[in-house]
Amino acid sequence: MSPFDLGPALLFCPADRPERFRGALAKADAVILDLEDAVLPDSKAAARGNLIDADVDPDRVIVRVNAPGSEAFASDIATLSQTDFRTVMVAKTESAKSLDVFDGRFSLIALCETARGIHAADRIAAHPRVVAMMWGAEDLVASLGGTSSRHSDGSYRDIARYSRSRVLLESGAQGKAAIDAVHVDLDDVDGLEREAADAAASGFRATACIHPNQVAVIRDAYRPDEAAIAWAGAVLKAAETERGVFRFEGRMIDEPVLRHARSVMSRVR
C-alpha cells in the first residue's frame, strides 16, 4: 500500500523540523517530508540527517527530493538509501529519463510543476517507477514568466486549470494515481473545500496540504455524504441480480455508472 492510499490528506512537513514529524503523522493520513522548497540551502544537510534518524512509520511517509539535475539531488538519493523510506516525490520532474536514476526499491510520485514537466506528462506517467503524479501551480506559472496562478476571485487561471487536467488525465491513462496541488491561501477554507470536493469528484486520489488545519477540510471533502453512500450501495446491490443495462430509481444504469458507484464506496472510511 502506498501512502496516498491511506487517505486523501497529505501534509507537507519540512525535513529540517524533526520535532514536527510525529505530530504531522498524528494529524494527517500521510506526511510528505520535504527536502526541497521548505528547507533553506544551508539547512539541507541537517534535514537529510533528520531523515536518517527519523523514528516514524515509513509506510506513511513520502519524501520530496530536490529537482533532478540540481546540486542537492544526488545527495538526497544517497540519503534515501540509508533509510527505510521508499516512496519519493521528485520535485520539478521534467522528463521520464531523469527518473531512471532510481532503482527498483523506490516508488515515485512525479511532481510536474514546470512547463517542461506538464509538456512531458504523458511520458513521465508511463515510467515504470512512477506510481502517482502531482502538479503544482506556483512553480508552473513562474516557469512561464507569469506572476500569479489565480484570478482575484481565487479561481485558477486557464493555464493552471489545463495543467491540473493534463496531469489527472495522463495519470489515469497509465493507471496511476493523481494528487491535487496545495491550496496556499490558509484563510480560504471555502476555496479549499471547493477544490478538494472537485478533486475527489474528478478522480484525484488525494490532495496535498501545507497546514494541519487543512487536513479535516480535505478529508470531509473526499468523504461521500450519506445520500451518495446510500445510493451507491443500493445500486451496486441491485446490479447483483441484473444483466446489462437496467433501470434503477428512474435512471438507466450501465457499467460507467456502476464504476462511479464503486468509486463512491472506495472513499468511505
Q: What tens digit of pLDDT does each residue of 75-84 get?
A: 999 999 999 9
Q: Give the orientation angle of helix 44-53 with respect to helix 73-80, to 10 degrees.
A: 10
User: Of residues 231 and 91, which shows the higher confidence score?
Assistant: 91
* Cα four-point dihedral sign 151, 155, 157, 163: positive
pLDDT number for residue 263? 86
Q: What is the three-class DSSP state of 58?
A: helix
pLDDT number for residue 228? 87
Domains belonging to the chain, first-starting first, are 3-222 (3.20.20.60), 226-266 (no CATH)
Report the candidate in 77, 78, 96, 97 with the shortest Cα–Cα distance to residue 88: 77
- What is the DSSP secondary-structure string of 238-263? HHTT--SSEEETTEEE-HHHHHHHHH
pLDDT number for residue 268? 78
Q: How confident is the model at residue 269 (pLDDT cuts 50, 70, 90)?
A: confident
pLDDT number for residue 5? 86
Quote the cell numbers at residue 16. Answer: 529540517
Per cent of the chain over pLDDT 70 is 100
pLDDT number for residue 106? 97
